[in-house]
Amino acid sequence: MEPRLTIHGRKFKLLIPNAEIESAIDALADQINRDFEGATEEDAPILLCTLNGAMIFMGELLKRINFPVIVKAAKLSSYEGTHSTGVVKSETVLKDIEGRSVIVVEDIVDTGNTIEVMERMLFSLGAADVRICTLLLKPDVYKKSTVLDYVAMRIPNKFIVGFGLDYDELGRNSKDIYVLDE
């Protein structure tokens, strides 16, 4: 029988098992390690976790990074329930960005509204370079010009939960990723 989840009365079926997620993170970390080879404590890039969804991905990515990094977190959101509101809300004040490379670590990119706002905000704070790293991309709906430097996996435009992603704050703790089954 296929693994399933029920959250807030809605059914979800398995989309991506944990072994595939871990393998994709390994490959992504290898690419980032190559790109930042030679980074030192003096020029350590900032890994900026977009809370709350990217926490698990960020933790796994951090275990695989082999150069000095500074870890920060920012909370931006545009989802209510299963849909994007189209309005990005920021609940974080970021400091000490000026002159640094920043790798924004996202759980998922769909419309791109959040990363577009984040990139603009980081450059306005003086970031020397901003790179976008995401576990998941929904290429069918991403139409922004912001470059996605590191993409672990591409998925269909469906609502998902697990591995940090939630449905009204539940489901983040699943090690696998599930898709709404309706």
Quick one: pLDDT at residue 182? 77
* Structural domain includes residue 103: yes
Quick one: pLDDT at residue 68? 98
Catalytic residue from among 26, 43, 110, 149? 110
Longest Cα separation, the chain:
52
Q: What is the pTM of this model?
A: 0.90
* Structural domain includes residue 82: no
* Beta-carbon contacts of residue 102 (< 8 Å; ≥ 6 apart): 45, 46, 48, 122, 127, 129, 130, 131
* Structural domain includes residue 81: no
Total domains, the chain: 1
Identify the domain containing residue 172 by its residue range. Answer: 4-33+42-76+98-180
* Structural domain includes residue 167: yes
* Structural domain includes residue 111: yes
* Structural domain includes residue 83: no
Q: Mark whether 110 is an active-site residue.
A: yes
* Structural domain includes residue 92: no
The pLDDT of residue 57 is above 90: yes
* Structural domain includes residue 88: no
The pLDDT of residue 1 is above 70: no
In tens, the pLDDT along 76-120 reads 766 555 556 666 556 566 889 999 999 999 999 999 988 998 999
- State the CATH number of the domain containing residue 129: 3.40.50.2020
> Which range among 61-65, 79-83, 110-114, 126-130 shows the weakest confidence by mean pLDDT?
79-83
Q: What confidence tier does 51 reach under pLDDT thresholds 50, 70, 90?
A: confident
* Beta-carbon contacts of residue 147 (< 8 Å; ≥ 6 apart): 132
